[in-house]
Chains A and B, each alone.
Chain A
């Protein structure tokens, strides 16, 4: 298939996407690095100039940064743990012979298709709201005082919402992995006298391990960027209790109009994301031919 003619045709066909993606990557990255060393506030742009590392120090040493980093970590880890553990359990359950596997799959997968502002607002108002939400009603019914989820446990509530959005993804992928397990392997293990738990531990789990890695890595990429859910539920509050890194950058840029500091934050976010990306790329790269 590889003749000279076909190779030059191929190069021509690949170039538009390569050029576009290069611009899309290099230009903003260059700009964000440039502005991270500039003093630049949209409200008084005339006082612009070089600023050394002070944008970085003001971003990194601001009292909000440490909190935002911790919140980001809690959000990502919390959602990962919930979705992977529940995902495995639900996948195992659905994979059993049951009546109506198709409809069950459809029900389970549905939350993934709900746009983030919708799921966030539905949860915020119709479940978490202490006076009108269903959880409040449930608490009242059980004779307890309604709990103000978003006020008292803002990050936990956001973790719940995001976990609900991403559980379908984890479940679906783990289910796919599970269904690709050669049933003869399990039968062989059964013949060898391995009980159910051992079969899970020594055969099913190792078989799924690659998919679990992929789920973790891909979710991490998306979770590091969670934004809409926070914006419409707590707007990062109360105080900064639910401010994550992306949200902090957004606040600096579009609420405080401090381009320099936001850019420095952007560079920090890019570096963090790249650390995760390296692992993800390794996992995916292995799978190429």
Chain B
């Protein structure tokens, strides 16, 4: 079980209010991702749930029980740290066994769980090594192994992949998703990488300056961002946000069009501009178009290879159905 409820939870460090009162419910078995720009309070929120920080006011309930003043050890949660936080003086096996040793799990059971975790995570060959003798990816797996054997009510991940190189990151992302499918345990995952958020989450929580901007499934956030901030944050490359006269034509203070919802042509279209940088990936082509008078640079994503280059004059046409409109406060207009 792992249903976590935050009820008017707030956090201040001294004078500084990092998280104003906030409500959030995480359902049992859900994969929830906290995203937001650096310093917005993602880690703080996670640590409040973990019990590593005291909350300033409000209540945290885990499976209906008040956990507000419970020490971390009693909450039945497991955490995977960005730095992995492995015990450097213990072998991999001892690292994985440590939480069970603390809980007084009987040795035969310990062996069994270590064995199955090691098999699941491809660690069997490394059980006798020290963390210092492992690669980044292997360390990450040990940290996950240490979390799994506790059979926790929920897993907490704080940017677990940010120390890995790009290729490894994609691999581990899949492994964690598979782990979630297999265990069906609640997972709360902090990242500032919106691709991780989109690919892994059942539910994304977008935070800005400690405030929840929107909670929803990845596709909800993609198709119906509640405000301009979410619109700009979710999706890659970023949505083009356009103000001024062009927005006024749509009865909005700001309009947004995603790069993939703009057609590009050498001959005709709504907006005219000049290509600055063009990035040809084969599968996709990205153009940064200047001189449209709409925004500094418009980002366009075209499928496949498009034979246009730096300095070419182009015409852009937005997909009228996919224009997002926002009012003066940045809120979505339906």
A residues lining the B interface (CB < 8 Å): 1-5
Is the Cβ of A4 less than 8 Å from the Cβ of B54?
yes
B54 CB contacts on chain A under 8 angstroms: 2-4
List the 7 closest pairs (A to B, CB-CB), nearest first.
A3-B54, A4-B54, A3-B53, A1-B52, A2-B53, A5-B71, A3-B52
Closest B residue to A4 by beta carbon equals B54
Closest B residue to A3 by beta carbon equals B54
Q: Is B51 part of the binding interface, using a Cβ–Cβ cutoff of 8 Å? A: yes
Q: B148-161 interface mask toward A, CB cutoff 8 Å, 1 = contact, 0 = none?
A: 00000000000000
B51 CB contacts on chain A under 8 angstroms: 3
Distance of A4 Cα from B52 Cα, bound (Å): 10
B53 CB contacts on chain A under 8 angstroms: 2-3
Distance of A4 Cα from B69 Cα, bound (Å): 10
A3 CB contacts on chain B under 8 angstroms: 51-54, 71
Distance of A281 Cα from B54 Cα, bound (Å): 34
A1 CB contacts on chain B under 8 angstroms: 52
Distance of A41 Cα from B71 Cα, bound (Å): 62
Distance of A76 Cα from B179 Cα, bound (Å): 68
Q: B273 to chain A: closest CB distance in Å? A: 42
Q: B48-75 interface mask toward A, CB cutoff 8 Å, 1 = contact, 0 = none?
A: 0001111000000000000000010000
A4 CB contacts on chain B under 8 angstroms: 54
Distance of A68 Cα from B52 Cα, bound (Å): 58
Chain B interface secondary structure, helix, strand, loop or mixed?
loop
Count contacts on B: residues with CB < 8 A to the other chain: 5
Would you list 10 pairs from A and B whose C-beta atoms are within 8 A, ordered by A residue? Answer: A1-B52, A2-B53, A2-B54, A3-B51, A3-B52, A3-B53, A3-B54, A3-B71, A4-B54, A5-B71
Closest B residue to A7 by beta carbon equals B54
Given contacts A2-B54, A3-B51, 8 further A-B contacts (CB under 8 A): A1-B52, A2-B53, A3-B52, A3-B53, A3-B54, A3-B71, A4-B54, A5-B71
Distance of A177 Cα from B71 Cα, bound (Å): 44
Closest B residue to A2 by beta carbon equals B53
Q: B22-44 interface mask toward A, CB cutoff 8 Å, 1 = contact, 0 = none?
A: 00000000000000000000000
Distance of A274 Cα from B116 Cα, bound (Å): 64
Distance of A2 Cα from B18 Cα, bound (Å): 15
Closest A residue to B51 by beta carbon equals A3
Distance of A2 Cα from B71 Cα, bound (Å): 12
A2 CB contacts on chain B under 8 angstroms: 53-54
Distance of A3 Cα from B72 Cα, bound (Å): 10
Q: B15 to chain A: closest CB distance in Å? A: 15
Distance of A1 Cα from B54 Cα, bound (Å): 9
B71 CB contacts on chain A under 8 angstroms: 3, 5
Most chain-B CB neighbours within 10 Å: which of A1, A3, A4, A5? A3
Distance of A3 Cα from B53 Cα, bound (Å): 5
Closest A residue to B52 by beta carbon equals A1
Distance of A29 Cα from B53 Cα, bound (Å): 42
Q: B120 to chain A: closest CB distance in Å? A: 31
A5 CB contacts on chain B under 8 angstroms: 71
Distance of A80 Cα from B137 Cα, bound (Å): 52
Distance of A3 Cα from B55 Cα, bound (Å): 9
Distance of A221 Cα from B84 Cα, bound (Å): 43
Q: A8 to chain B: closest CB distance in Å? A: 12
B52 CB contacts on chain A under 8 angstroms: 1, 3
Distance of A1 Cα from B53 Cα, bound (Å): 6
Distance of A5 Cα from B71 Cα, bound (Å): 9
Distance of A3 Cα from B11 Cα, bound (Å): 12
Distance of A3 Cα from B71 Cα, bound (Å): 9
Distance of A14 Cα from B149 Cα, bound (Å): 36
